[in-house]
Amino acid sequence: MRESTQKTLCIGLSLSPTWVSGSRLKQEPSLQETIFSAGYYIALSKRAEAAKLDFLFRPDALFLNIEKASQVPAFGGLDPSLLIAAIAHETDYIGFVSTISTLFYPPYIAARQLQSLNWLTQGRVGWNIVTALQGQKNFGQQTLPDPDERYKIASEFTAVTEALWKSHPLKQVNDETQQIISGLKEINFQGEYFNVQGPLNIPEYSQPIPYFQAGASPAGRNFAATLADGIFTATPDLDCAIEFYQDIQHRTVKAGRKHNAVKVLPGLSFYLADSREEAFRLFEQTHANTNPQIKFRYIESLINLDLSQLPLETIIKPEMLPEPIETPYSRTHAKLLRRYICKNHPSIKMLLSSPEVNGSSHWRVIGTADDLVDEIELWVKKQGCDGFIALPCGSEQSLYIFFDQVVPKLVDKGLFREDYQEKTLWQRLQNIGI
């Protein structure tokens, strides 16, 4: 670990194996067991730490979309907190971000899990605070609260969690009397959504737990601006990224915090090969067997437009779009899809291959290591991000090229650190930024 004050990109890597396609699982049935083993993620975490990445991020959802399960095997899976606890002891510096829902978890359980991980990792854990987009029927609810109320619940949930952490401080010794000062106290929290007595049954670690958040609605952005240290986002192009970045910084300052207190970290999916031609073949092969009807149903669920009976060459024009609807899915993704159509006037074939339909609206690069580095450098120069969450796609080839070529090139350009500078994730996030 070297001393340095250089500010650099913040780079996280998804712990969901986005590089494993459904078609490959059918060809290699044994791979299904492999990606549910601790050894698989231990090896991955060691590679990521050797590359000096900031953290490994485990997304999560408390439901399973049966229709998409065979197409997206990385969706769902192992419990984030349990997975991190199983693999963190094999590393020394890299951070781990666990996802916990504020709608379905009790605050006491969340507070205890996160503080336990904070101890087990010695300050290297972060919390991805999510509400929910689906899954309510797995928890005795028929409908979800509207987005604004979900964030009200999340705010109160976070307040309860913080109060529980403070309710059990580390014991200190009084210098004069040599008596142990415990500071244990009940919180007796009585709010609109939660009633919790406390105190927590595990003491607070000496380093705080940084917060991450992924909501892009106005309520989500305000929540992040008020509380978060980092925000995950879907920004499929640079113009969208710049708008989002500027808006988050404005909201953060308006909330009374410092500019750049919230690190903007878009998802970055990439298909990498030694040549662009190979990379495009990898992309096409990965999606060759995807059922187009799933994509058509996804489009219709977001913007109420059925394209399934039209020729693939049909141009989608803005005037074909129905009025916006209340979607049970992400309003942000619906807005991004409408934006793509209005901006590009795509054919149906183009639309089906777009990141908005075929990649969760993430920033996407198909090409060589140099292509990816150039794209990252451009986004940094234009202030579209403070870093990114790496989502290697297509095959392990994309993952290995990222580790072995992309990261060293970012170091050479002065965009990323050569070695770790801080021990805990909280400390590291304070010094990140371009």
- Find out whether 263 and 10 touch, Cβ atoms under 8 Å: yes
State the Cα–Cα distance between residues 134 and 72, nearest whole angstrom: 17
State the Cα–Cα distance between residues 306 and 41, nearest whole angstrom: 40
Percentages helix, strand, coil for the chain (3-state, rounded to 5) are 45, 15, 40
What's the one-letter identity of residue 334? A
Dig out the tokens for 74 from the structure.
């990385």
Terminal Cα distance for the chain, rounded:
21
Q: Is 16 annotated as a binding residue?
A: no
Q: Is 286 annotated as a binding residue?
A: no
State the Cα–Cα distance between residues 301 and 384, nearest whole angstrom: 29
- Residue located via tokens 């899976």: 77
Beta strands, E only, 297-432: 363-367, 387-392
Q: Is 99 annotated as a binding residue?
A: yes
* Selection from 152, 130, 266, 143 nearest residue 219 by Cα: 152
The β-bridge partners of 347 are 315
Bridge-based pairing of strands 180-181 and 172-173 is: antiparallel
What are the two backbone dihedrals, phi and then psi, of residue 308, each rounded to the nearest 5 degrees? Answer: -65, -20
Q: Is 217 annotated as a binding residue?
A: yes
State the Cα–Cα distance between residues 4 and 38, nearest whole angstrom: 33
The number of helices, as runs of H, and strands, as runs of E, in the chain is: 18, 13
Which residues are known binding-site members for FMN?
60, 99, 151, 217
Q: Which residues does the annotation place in the binding site? A: 60, 99, 151, 217
